[in-house]
């Protein structure tokens, strides 16, 4: 099989500006999503994810503008997420030029939205984002996973990781796949921001139980972390932010390393 | 400048293809009617939507599409757009455009579906659409079904994912790719520039 593992830089956008990691790029317009997208695309990123954290009634207009700008500037696929709640929200970003939408809280609260989106746009456009946190309390009916710190289950959190739901992330992924999810973006709340490596057990637990691609997220600090999540974690794609943003390990450096370690990577 | 008309089935992202065709040197417009297609120097069937729903949308322009193609207007089908060139699909009911004999099949369940991401081209037959494109080049795929042509002569590239499938077809003025050239970076743009050359020739 020659399908390459994907390297996916993630950009957080607020009011049309990239809000993290704008220091290194020395761009004319620091934080311009279009310019940063172009830069990552030129460097060899395989795909991009934009996470829009704008909380404003002007959100839709702001999104439409930069999504169109990005679509015109780059010719690699990109996903837009953050506050997508229904078909109308999804149509706005897809018709502005995004290839996929990622849905998180709205899918948990109203799972049928997954089916509605898949029916209208095709399941390949529907990414279900899952923010999961390890829960050490042995609980009946949860899918327990053996880890270095003992048996855990993975609990879905919503509202940007602020609200524990009691829902098993692995079971939720299996349900969401049946409803029409075309891909999963799995973020470890425990690892996010630590630069300590991905949650391998979480990624593998989901990747082994669903038959659609899984993007691992949260914890990348060095290229070895991406290697581990591809090999041990069975991820199909690895998302990272700070490792790329601050130019510690630019995309080509990470790709060279992975290629040398025997991972199938796009030239 | 030669005008490529992208047929709009009414769903999803057409902006990427429009932009890419313009970068390749064509003017590109979105069309929904027979009149739109009648004026086209080239026609693109994009890769969004489902087989059955798209056929319903295509129904009102089917005659003009057949006429234009018979007259020699270059036609480019991408992903689903290419799958419509065949007779039928396992995705759903309906008769395809039947430019080519064969059916569209589901990818095997031994691999993750959709086949999503960058995979390589094995160029099995030289074709002007792939002029200057190296063997083993990566292009972007996102699909759950693939074409199974009966005539091996139309197969231009193959790709492996769970099975070895036809990833591009060409015959006379009809060209189709299972992958998305408009999402395949500089390589995809080079392929679309080759298409643009064919159009203005």
Mean pLDDT of chain A: 93
For residue A76, give the nearest of B78, B175, B187 by alpha carbon: B187
For A221-245, letters b (16+ CB in 10 Å) and e give bbbebbbbbbeebbbbbbbbbebbb
Tell me how close the Cα of B105 comes to any Cα of chain A, in angstroms. Answer: 17
Helix A33-43 vs helix A59-73: crossing angle, to nearest 10 = 30
The CATH number assigned to the domain holding A178 equals 3.20.20.70
Q: Per the CB < 8 Å rule, is A213 touching B185?
A: no
* The pLDDT of residue A23: 52
Question: In this structure, what are the phi and psi dihedrals at residue B98, rounded to the nearest 5 degrees?
Answer: 55, 35
CB A126 within 8 A of CB A114: yes
Mean pLDDT of chain B: 95
If phi > 0 it is left, if psi is from -120 to 50 it is alpha, else beta; for residue A255 that is: alpha
Q: Per the CB < 8 Å rule, is B13 touching A183?
A: no
For residue A61, give the nearest of A69, B87, B194 by alpha carbon: A69
Tell me how close the Cα of A148 comes to any Cα of chain B, in angstroms. Answer: 28
Q: List CB contacts of A260: < 8 A, sequence separation 6 or more.
A: none
Q: How many domains does chain A have?
A: 1
The predicted-structure confidence for A37-85, as pLDDT tens digits, reads as follows 999 999 999 999 999 988 888 999 999 999 999 999 999 999 999 999 9
Q: Per the CB < 8 Å rule, is A236 touching B144?
A: no
* The pLDDT of residue B53: 85
A46 near B CB under 8 A: yes
Nearest chain B residue to A237 by CA: give it. B117
Task: Establish if A267 belongs to a structural domain.
Answer: no
* The pLDDT of residue A22: 53
Q: Per the CB < 8 Å rule, is B113 touching A122?
A: no
Using an 8 Å CB-CB cutoff, list chain B residues near A6.
117-118
Q: List CB contacts of B177: < 8 A, sequence separation 6 or more.
A: B76, B77, B78, B79, B82, B139, B167, B168, B191
Task: Establish if A192 belongs to a structural domain.
Answer: yes
Tell me how close the Cα of B71 comes to any Cα of chain A, in angstroms. Answer: 32
The predicted-structure confidence for A210-219, as pLDDT tens digits, reads as follows 999 999 999 9
Strand partners, A51: A12, A81
* The pLDDT of residue A165: 96
pLDDT at A21 over 70: no
Chunked mean pLDDT (size 10), chain B, 201 residues:
91 88 97 95 89 88 96 97 96 94 97 97 97 97 96 98 98 98 97 97 87
* The pLDDT of residue A55: 83
Nearest chain A residue to B23 by CA: give it. A72
* The pLDDT of residue A160: 85
Its ipTM equals 0.94
Which residues of A form the catalytic set?
Answer: 12, 131
d(CA B40, CA A67): 28
For residue B158, give the nearest of B128, B131, B120, B184 by alpha carbon: B120
CA angle A189, A194, A199 (to 5 degrees): 50
The chain B residues in contact with chain A (CB within 8 A) are: 11-16, 19-20, 23, 48-50, 109, 111-120, 138, 140-144, 159-162, 180, 182-186, 188-189
Tell me how close the Cα of B160 comes to any Cα of chain A, in angstroms. Answer: 6
Query: What is the arithmetic mean of pLDDT over A133-151?
Result: 94
CA angle A17, A20, A24 (to 5 degrees): 100
HEC readout, chain A: CCCCCEEEEEEEEECCEECCCCCCCCCCCCCCHHHHHHHHHHHCCCCEEEEECCCCCCHHHHHHHHHHHHHHHCCCCEEEECCCCCHHHHHHHHHCCCCEEEECHHHHHCCHHHHHHHHHHCHHHEEEEEEEEEECCCCCCCCCEEECCEEEEEEEEECCCCEEEEEEHHHHHHHHHHHCCCEEEEEECCCCCCCCCCCHHHHHHHHCCCCCCEEEECCCCCHHHHHHHHHCCCCCEEEECHHHHCCCCCHHHHHHHHHHCCCCCCC
CB atoms within 10 A of CB A44: 18
Query: What is the arithmetic mean of pLDDT over A12-18?
Result: 92
Task: Establish if A265 belongs to a structural domain.
Answer: no
For residue B121, give the nearest of B82, B162, B170, B178 by alpha carbon: B178
* The pLDDT of residue A28: 54
Using an 8 Å CB-CB cutoff, list chain B residues near A239.
none
Domain range for A116: 6-260
Q: How confident is the model at residue A89 (pLDDT cuts 50, 70, 90)?
A: very high
A245 near B CB under 8 A: no
pLDDT at A257 over 80: yes
For residue A131, give the nearest of A164, A98, A101 by alpha carbon: A164
Task: Establish if A184 belongs to a structural domain.
Answer: yes
CATH 3.40.50.280 fits B3-200, yes or no: no
Q: How confident is the model at residue A26 (pLDDT cuts 50, 70, 90)?
A: low
A123 near B CB under 8 A: yes
Q: Per the CB < 8 Å rule, is B16 touching A212?
A: no
* The pLDDT of residue A27: 56
The predicted-structure confidence for A147-182, as pLDDT tens digits, reads as follows 999 999 999 999 888 899 999 999 999 999 999 999
The predicted-structure confidence for A221-234, as pLDDT tens digits, reads as follows 999 999 999 999 99
């Amino acid at each position: 099989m020659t399908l390459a593992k994907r390297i996916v830089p993630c950009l957080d956008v607020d009011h049309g500006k990239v809000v993290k990691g704008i220091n290194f790029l020395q761009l004319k317009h620091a934080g311009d999503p279009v310019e940063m997208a172009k830069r990552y695309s030129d460097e060899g990123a395989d795909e991009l994810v934009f996470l829009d954290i704008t909380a404003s009634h002007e959100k839709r207009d702001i999104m439409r503008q930069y999504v169109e700008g990005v679509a015109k500037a780059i010719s690699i696929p990109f996903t837009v997420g953050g506050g997508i709640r229904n078909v109308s929200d999804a149509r706005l970003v897809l018709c502005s030029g995004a290839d996929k939408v990622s849905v998180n809280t709205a899918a948990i609260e109203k799972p049928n939205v997954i089916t509605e989106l898949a029916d209208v746009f095709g399941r390949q456009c529907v990414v279900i984002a899952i923010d999961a946190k390890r829960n050490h309390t042995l609980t009946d009916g949860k899918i327990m996973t053996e880890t270095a710190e003992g048996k855990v289950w993975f609990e879905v959190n919503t509202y940007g990781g602020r609200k524990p739901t009691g829902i098993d992330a692995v079971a939720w992924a299996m349900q969401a796949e049946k409803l029409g999810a075309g891909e999963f973006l799995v973020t470890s709340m425990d690892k996010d921001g630590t630069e300590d490596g991905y949650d391998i057990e979480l990624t593998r637990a989901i990747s082994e139980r669903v038959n659609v691609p899984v993007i691992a997220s949260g914890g990348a600090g060095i290229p070895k972390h991406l290697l581990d999540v591809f090999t041990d974690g069975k991820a199909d794609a690895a998302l990272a932010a700070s490792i790329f943003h601050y130019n510690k390990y630019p995309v080509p450096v990470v790709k060279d390393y992975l290629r040398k370690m025997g991972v199938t990577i796009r030239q | 400048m030669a005008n490529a008309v992208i047929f709009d089935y009414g769903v999803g992202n057409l902006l990427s293809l429009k932009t890419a065709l313009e970068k390749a040197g064509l003017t590109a417009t979105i069309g929904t009617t027979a009149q739109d297609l009648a004026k086209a120097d080239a026609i693109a069937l994009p890769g969004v939507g489902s087989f059955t729903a798209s056929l319903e949308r295509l129904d009102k322009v089917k005659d003009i599409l057949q006429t234009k193609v018979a007259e020699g207007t270059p036609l480019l089908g991408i992903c689903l757009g290419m799958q419509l060139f065949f007779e039928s699909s396992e995705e759903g009911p309906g008769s395809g455009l039947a430019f080519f004999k064969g059916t569209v099949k589901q990818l095997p369940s031994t691999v993750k579906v959709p086949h999503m991401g960058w995979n390589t081209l094995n160029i099995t037959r030289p074709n002007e659409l792939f002029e200057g494109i190296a063997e083993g080049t990566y292009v972007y795929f996102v699909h759950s079904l693939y074409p199974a042509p009966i005539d091996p002569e139309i197969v231009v590239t193959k790709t492996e994912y769970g099975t070895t499938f036809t990833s591009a077809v060409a015959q006379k003025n009809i060209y189709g790719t299972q992958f998305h050239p408009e999402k395949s970076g500089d390589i995809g743009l080079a392929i679309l520039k080759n298409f643009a050359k064919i159009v203005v020739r």
